[in-house]
Amino acid sequence: MKLLICFGTRPEAIKMAPICLELKKRNIPYKLCVTAQHREMLDQVLNFFQLFPDYDLDLMKPNQGLNGLSASILNEIDKVFDEENFDLVLVHGDTTTSSMVALAAFHRNIKVAHIEAGLRTYNKLSPFPEELNRQITGRIADYHFAPTHKARQNLLNEDVDAAKVVVTGNTVIDALFITLDKIKTGFTNTTIENLKQQFNFNKKVLLVTGHRRESFGQGFKSICTAILEISRNKEIEIIYPVHLNPNVQKVVYEMLSGIDNIHLIAPLDYPSFVWLMSKSSLIISDSGGIQEEAPSLHIPVLVTRNTTERDEGIQSGCSFLVGTDTSKIVEKTTELLNPNVDLLHNTNPYGNGDASTQIINFIESLE
Ligand code: UD1
Ligand code: UDP
């Protein structure tokens, strides 16, 4: 069976890397195509996991619109399909890359496997445009790898054939464990060494990230106001690797620059970010991947979104939905930085690190 793996952004690369590594380990041939919807943020992941794309569509443009990006992906991936005949294309999650590559594959009568299938809020504006992206990919896909039983049930409720849905856990946990193992066995880099020098890890570290389109404007302003308020406590060291989307950069740098315990830094390479997460007491984020990773590190996450498709983390007390409401963020931060809060015993509902093994077992069984 001729396999093509295709992704375009940082989180997709992190979550698809374990699948690429598992294929390599079993000597199963595959081709890798990156749309490069992201550029620097993608390349650092390729570099860390030593992945070498066979096709690089190089599509990132500054502040690119969704329609322009979608049109470019459809056009450029079609040329890859002209080059080689594939039997199965593996796409991931809910980005414009995944939905457009799935659509292009469908147009060329190529089967599609969807990794991280079945996540839903059923609110097409939250997250925007990801909820519709994953629903589109879900309609097209021939095989669905659901991270949790809830995700599987969502697909069954949509009349997807149960035989085509496999619950595997999330491959991000595989990526996290691979990375933690490397760090434990001595991996370091200049970024990690610089972080150690630059910041005071005797204080409580509050790690912040954010990039959701539905929060652009007022949402981001309210989150920044909360961070300003939290920074009045000088026992807290706030570290914020700022996403490269210009709509995020502008408001965050305008509102949070120049405060002694707020450190705005460039996005971190994956191992440095994992290292920093492991040193943090609390994370404030709208990231899907971070909601999944943090429970394995026993770090609570305040989710700055109004909805989440990752309800399992909320139910198990690992994450907390606070929206972009300034006072909720401040109050919950104060509560969770209390030394009596103990998340050490919560287990990670998103998997135990063998998702890519299960996915490749299933794909091998199709031969
Ligand atoms: C995208 C995905 C989102 C995913 C997120 C992960 C879509 C519509 N959005 O959002 O689902 O959760 O990635 O981070 O698929 N940029 C750079 N360098 C980079 C990356 C981005 O400069 O390496 C800037 C560019 O100006 C680019 C802009 O960020 O045009 C937006 O990138 P884009 O991929 O469209 O959206 P994200 O907000 O990153
Ligand atoms: N991450 C990273 N560097 C950073 C911030 C995040 O490597 O500076 C990792 C993080 O560990 C997680 C993924 O990137 O695996 C999350 O990406 P993002 O928040 O951009 O996207 P989402 O998960 O929301 O789709």
Residue 345: per-residue pLDDT: 65
Of 12, 22, 76, 130, which one is the catalytic site residue?
130
340: pLDDT confidence band, cut at 50, 70 and 90? Answer: low
Mean pLDDT of 25-46: 98
Radius of gyration over alpha carbons of the chain, in Å? Answer: 20
Assess whether 116 carries a catalytic annotation.
yes
Assess whether 134 carries a catalytic annotation.
no
Residue 32: per-residue pLDDT: 99
Within its chain, how far is the Cα of 314 from the centroid? 17
What domains are defined for the chain? Answer: 3-170+352-365 (3.40.50.2000), 189-336 (3.40.50.2000)
Q: With b meaning 16 or more CB within 10 Å and e meaning fewer, what string describes 159-188?
A: ebeeeebbbbbbbbbbbbbbbbeeeeeeee
Of 12, 22, 76, 94, which one is the catalytic site residue?
94
Containing 291, the helix (H) or strand (E) segment is helix 288-297
Mean pLDDT of 105-118: 98
Mean pLDDT of 106-113: 98
Mean pLDDT of 270-297: 97
Cis peptide before 11 (omega within 30 of 0): no
Share of the chain above pLDDT 90, in %: 97
User: In the Cβ-directed half-sphere of 137, how many Cα atoms lie within 13 Å?
Assistant: 33
346: pLDDT confidence band, cut at 50, 70 and 90? Answer: confident
Residue 343: per-residue pLDDT: 62
Residue 22: per-residue pLDDT: 98
Of 114, 134, 211, 305, which one is the catalytic site residue?
211
Q: For residue 137, how many other CB atoms are within 10 A of its CB?
A: 27
Assess whether 211 carries a catalytic annotation.
yes
Mean pLDDT of 287-306: 96
| Ligand 2 centroid distance, CA of 8 (Å) | 13
Residue 367: per-residue pLDDT: 75
**What tokens does 94 get?**
């809910």
Which amino acid is present at 89? V
| Ligand 2 centroid distance, CA of 303 (Å) | 14
Contact 329, 304 (CB under 8 A): yes
Residue 339: per-residue pLDDT: 74
**Residue in this structure with the two tokens 């899907």, named with its chain if needed:** 288
The residues, ordered by sequence, that sit 6+ positions from 294 with a Cβ below 8 Å of its Cβ are: 277, 283, 300, 301, 313, 318, 319
pLDDT tens profile 175-227: 999 999 999 999 999 999 999 999 999 999 999 999 999 999 999 999 999 99
Within its chain, how far is the Cα of 197 from the centroid? 28
| Ligand 2 centroid distance, CA of 15 (Å) | 10
Residue 347: per-residue pLDDT: 83
Residue 44: per-residue pLDDT: 98
Q: Which ligand is closest to the CA of 210, given by its number?
A: 2
Please identify, by atom number, the ligand 2 atom nearest to the C-alpha of residue 290. Answer: 12
Contact 41, 267 (CB under 8 A): yes
Contact 293, 299 (CB under 8 A): no
Mean pLDDT over the full length of the chain: 97
Residue 338: per-residue pLDDT: 82
Mean pLDDT of 268-293: 98
